Structure 1
Amino acid sequence: MNEEIKSFTISIYTENNIGLLNRISAIFQRRHINIESLTTSQSEIEGVNRFVIVVNITEAQAQKIIGQFQKQIEVIRAYYHTEEETIFQESGMFKIKSDLLFNEPQIQNIIKESNARIVTVNKEFFVLEKSGRRNEIESLRRDLNIFGIMQFVRSGRISVTKEEMKITEMLLAFNNQ
């Protein structure tokens, strides 16, 4: 029976060591799995980082990958969750010519309707920030593309689980070793 390919958010709690990103990406590369999104930051515990990686795979593949991550010496713990089990967002920034802000009333409507936020304005350009689901950011990008976007960047996914994770206690114990 073929297992369904779904979007999984993989969370990897790690020590902050050089070369770890290469080893993590190699695990995906060996299995020919494309990373849709990757974000890394400080976790809730001082000295412990968290990778948040989005991939489209089967649950069996997710289980195998988690096992591979846990074999890495710097990895404290790794988890996978479905989209239904997480609360997640991305962020996008748009750099646009300033004259459009003042000369195109439709731009102001697009900004208001999308709940985007103006980060900065000067005489050459203005910068918008939009947080939300990827489809919301992409919709705003399509709307603004008509007028011309000077620069665009979108972050990777950031997420937390809906259910409580006991990782905090585990990380505190790890940190106090």
Structure 2
Amino acid sequence: MKRSFTITVFTEDQTGLLSRVVGIFNRRNLNISSLTTSASSDESIHRFTIVVEVTEEMVIKLVAQLDKQVDVLKAFYYEDKDIVYQEIALYKVPIEVFSNGNQVEMMIRRHNARVLLIEPEFVVIEKTGHEYETEALLTELRQVGLYEFVRSGRVAIVKPMERLNSYLQEIEAGVES
């Protein structure tokens, strides 16, 4: 049965690595729902956070394939219950939507969003949360007027202590023996 999994891939920061990582998913004809890259807690290590909807058997194979890549230090996978995650969404709406009373202001408050920028022609609104939360605000803003919308990929922190640090300590202990 297909489920949502978040894969974290820890790598050295090397040019071309993103295309190799994404290529693993392309060769298996898998859609990536979300992809973000960033620094990690160790400044020499880069982190990919990838969300896919696959079977557990498939995610195990994906992680094993990722682990085999040169410059990949280690890959892990998690179910949603094992992580804390968020996305950020930005909405550009016409300034005129604020002239019809306080409907949009109340909408922003109800969704725990905030105004980032006010310009003569438009307003930029920010919302952080899970995808269903950013989608809910998107649906409402489309009804009053929307110029632009963009949502980031998932950023996630695992609930158990970071497994990468344990893995690196095991490697160092093995090298010293």
- TM-score (norm. length: structure 1): 0.92
2:159 — aligned with what?
162
Determine the structure 2 residue equivalent to 1:116.
Answer: 113
Corresponding residue for residue 61 of structure 2: 64
What RMSD, in angstroms, separates the aligned Cα atoms of the two structures? 1.8
Q: Which of 73, 77, 85 in structure 2 is aligned with 1:76? A: 73
Are residues 1:20 and 2:20 paired? Answer: no
Q: What CA distance in whole angstroms lies between the structure 1 residues aligned with 2:101 and 2:89?
A: 21
Give the structure 1 partner of residue 99 of structure 2.
Answer: 102
- The answer as to whether partners of 1:44 and 1:168 remain within 8 angstroms in 2 is no
- Deviation, 1:109, is 0.8
Shift of 1:173: 8.8
Provide the residue aligned with 2:125 in structure 1: 128
Equivalents in 1 of 2:135, 2:74: separation in Å? 33
Query: Residue in 2 aligned with 1:151?
Result: 148
Q: One-letter code of the match for 1:155?
A: S
1:53 alignment partner, one of 40, 50, 66: 50
Aligned pair 1:138/2:138, yes or no? Answer: no
Letter in 1 for 2:28: R
Q: Which runs of 5+ in 1 are unaligned?
A: none
Report % sequence identity.
Answer: 38
Deviation at 1:105, TM superposition (A): 1.9
1:47, distance to aligned residue in structure 2 (A): 2.0
1:38 aligned to 2:41? no
Cα distance between partner residues in 2 of 1:102 and 1:108: 10
Q: Which amino acid aligns with 2:36?
A: T
Secondary structure of the corresponding residue to residue 7 of structure 1: strand
Deviation by residue 1:72-94 (Cα, 9 ceiling, x = unmatched): 11101100000111111111000
Is the partner of 1:146 in helix, strand or coil? helix
Residues in 2 aligned to 1:32 and 1:10: alpha-carbon distance in whole angstroms: 17
What TM-score do you get using the length of structure 2 for normalisation? 0.92
Q: What's the offset of the Cα at 1:32? A: 1.1
Count of matched residue pairs = 173
DSSP-derived class of the 2:144 partner: coil
Q: CA deviation at 1:122?
A: 1.6
Query: Unaligned regions of 5+ residues in structure 2, if any?
Result: none
1:51 and 1:107 mapped to 2: Cα distance? 36
CA distance in 1, matches of 2:160, 2:55: 22
**Cα distance in structure 2, aligned partners of 1:150 and 1:168:** 44
Which SS does the other structure have where 1:47 is aligned? coil
Shift of 1:14: 0.6
Letter in 1 for 2:141: L
